[in-house]
Amino acid sequence: MLSLRLPIPSENALAPLKTKPSRFLNPRTQTHLYCLPSAAPKPQAKLQIPRATTADVARKDLEEEEPLPEGLRRELMPKHVAVIMDGNGRWAKQRGLPPGEGHKAGVESLRAVIEISARYGIKVLTVFAFSYDNWIRPKVEVEFLMSLFEEVIKSELDNFAREGIRVSVIGDSTKLPISLQKLIADAEEKTKENSIFQLIVAVSYSGKYDVLQACKSIAQKAKDGLVQVEDIDESLIEQELETNCTEFPYPDLLIRTSGELRVSNFLLWQLAYTELFFAPEFWPDFGKDGFVEALVSFQQRQRRYGGRNT
Ligand code: FPP
Atom of ligand 1 nearest to the CA of 131: 5
What count of Cα atoms within 13 Å lies in the side-chain half-sphere of residue 209? 14
Structural contact between residues 105 and 49, judged by C-beta atoms closer than 8 angstroms? no
Give percent above pLDDT 70 in the chain.
79
Average pLDDT taken over every residue of the chain = 84
pLDDT digits (tens, 9 = 90+) for 63-93: 456 789 999 999 999 999 999 999 999 999 9
- What pLDDT is recorded for position 200? 98
Given 86, 210, 252, 285, which residue is catalytic? 86
Residue 99 Cβ < 6 Å to ligand 1: yes
C-alpha of residue 225 to centroid of ligand 1, in Å: 43
pTM recorded for the entire structure: 0.81
3-class DSSP state of 169 = strand
pLDDT digits (tens, 9 = 90+) for 221-259: 999 999 999 999 999 999 999 999 999 999 999 999 999
- Is residue 56 among the annotated active site residues? no
3-class DSSP state of 217 = helix
In this structure, which topology does domain 78-206+250-298 adopt according to CATH? Undecaprenyl pyrophosphate synthetase (3.40.1180)
Q: Are strands 124-131 and 165-170 parallel, antiparallel or unpaired?
A: unpaired
- What pLDDT is recorded for position 263? 98
- What pLDDT is recorded for position 62? 44
pLDDT digits (tens, 9 = 90+) for 271-281: 999 999 999 99
> In the structure, how many helices (H) and strands (E) does the chain have?
8, 8
